[in-house]
Amino acid sequence: MFLITHEFHPRHGGIATFTEEIARAAVGMGYDLEVWAQAAPLEGDQKPWPFRLRRLPLKGTHDLACLLRLMYELIIHRRRLRHATVYLPEPGPMRAMMGLQFIPGFRPRRLVLTFHGSEILRFHRNPLSRWLARRLIRHASRISVLTGYTHRLLCTRFPEAASKTFLTPGALRSSFSAAPFAPGREPRDEVVILTVGRLHPRKGQLFIIEALQALPAAQRARVEYWLVGGTSKENYEPRLREAAGRSDLVVRFLGNVPDDELARIYDRADIFAMTSIHHRHSVEGFGLVYLEAAAHGLPVVAHAVGGVPEAVVDGVTGLLVPPADRPALTAAFARLIADPELRHKFGAAGREWARKNSWVRSADLLFNSQDREITD
């Protein structure tokens, strides 16, 4: 089996995590797997892998040069791929395969795809990419999605996917570790609110700064807002820093941090917040980070958008608010800041909720099982 991706370690993000964990699970099930991934710094290849890893001479972007280079790699190795299972877990390699699916004898014996959300809208908006995606979907043996929301999105835009689409939900990283939950932990006067995600308009960090600034002065004085994540191409970080500078909040920009340090940051926080929105042709299909935060015992504040309600249970593991309701977002923060017992209750429920899925189960559905798992 070949897994071909642009999103792999040392990159951060939900798709990179999904790709790595599905690969590990497949090997654990006995598959002979070779992963093709984007180039990485030398230090990015020091991690031991249970599968063969081939680094491709490309950056892993979606620009034309990267697309053509991947197509070239697929062409020169077509004899290896032709009689194998080829798994494309994200849109970059799908685009390359779309351009090659017309070459006689090139198609792999078995093609497996995973859709996460935003790429569905992007493939559908252009007549040419829509036509190419439909042909690719028809050629696929199996397709997976992480949420019922993404399933509905996919089957609405591409009805031909309905009969072969399975739900393969995300789970916690296999390397995940969290400090033991401490029942009755003494509440601190300071309340740390944490967001983990790239600094991008779709992740909604600006909404959080604005909502916290609208808190009563006494609560605002107790709050620190920590942001973990690298900057994006949309010049969003300067807007966040400007908004933070205009407020009287304590806001800390921590940048990208390694997983072991991130675990310590989670365990120092009191509330996790990520208020994603639909931004242009980008949607929040699920959000593995919500599960990770819940597994650390953090109550979650989020927008009820996309697949987020399938990662955060409103009133059980956190509070969901409509994306356009700014007063409701401030009220959700105010409620959790004022009520440490509620934070503890949501956190305890979240720890159980975050462990309900497993990567082995998802990989089995993706590559083996014939049971349908999608329900609307």
The number of distinct structural domains making up the chain is 2
Residue 324, C-beta contacts closer than 8 angstroms, at least 6 positions apart = none
Whether residues 16 and 103 share a domain: the answer is: yes
Reported confidence tier of residue 43, pLDDT bands at 50, 70, 90:
low
% pLDDT > 90, the chain: 75
Which pairing describes strands 191-196 and 271-274: parallel, antiparallel, or unpaired?
parallel
Distance CA 152, CA 145 (A): 10
Asked if the structure places residue 269 within a domain, the reply is: yes
Residue 159, C-beta contacts closer than 8 angstroms, at least 6 positions apart = none
Whether residues 163 and 209 share a domain: the answer is: no
Instruction: Name the burial class of residue 283, with classes exposed (0-12), middle (13-18) and buried (19+) by CB atoms within 10 angstroms of its CB.
Output: buried
Asked if the structure places residue 177 within a domain, the reply is: no
Asked if the structure places residue 375 within a domain, the reply is: no
Distance CA 219, CA 364 (A): 48
Which pairing describes strands 34-37 and 52-55: parallel, antiparallel, or unpaired?
parallel
Residue 374, C-beta contacts closer than 8 angstroms, at least 6 positions apart = 145, 148, 151, 165, 166, 167
Asked if 114 and 168 touch (Cβ cutoff 8 Å), the reply is yes
Residue 124 forms beta bridges with which residues? none
Whether residues 23 and 80 share a domain: the answer is: yes
Distance CA 73, CA 187 (A): 56
Whether residues 110 and 154 share a domain: the answer is: yes
Asked if the structure places residue 232 within a domain, the reply is: yes
pTM, 2 dp: 0.88
Asked if the structure places residue 182 within a domain, the reply is: no
Whether residues 113 and 147 share a domain: the answer is: yes
Reported confidence tier of residue 183, pLDDT bands at 50, 70, 90:
low
- Collapsing DSSP to helix, strand or coil, 229 comes out as coil
Whether residues 153 and 229 share a domain: the answer is: no
Whether residues 134 and 238 share a domain: the answer is: no
What pLDDT sits at residue 131? Answer: 97
Whether residues 218 and 315 share a domain: the answer is: yes
Reported confidence tier of residue 47, pLDDT bands at 50, 70, 90:
confident
Domain that holds residue 258: 191-353
Q: Which CATH number belongs to the domain containing residue 302 in this structure?
A: 3.40.50.2000
Whether residues 17 and 140 share a domain: the answer is: yes
pLDDT in tens, 146-159: 999 999 999 999 99
Whether residues 238 and 95 share a domain: the answer is: no
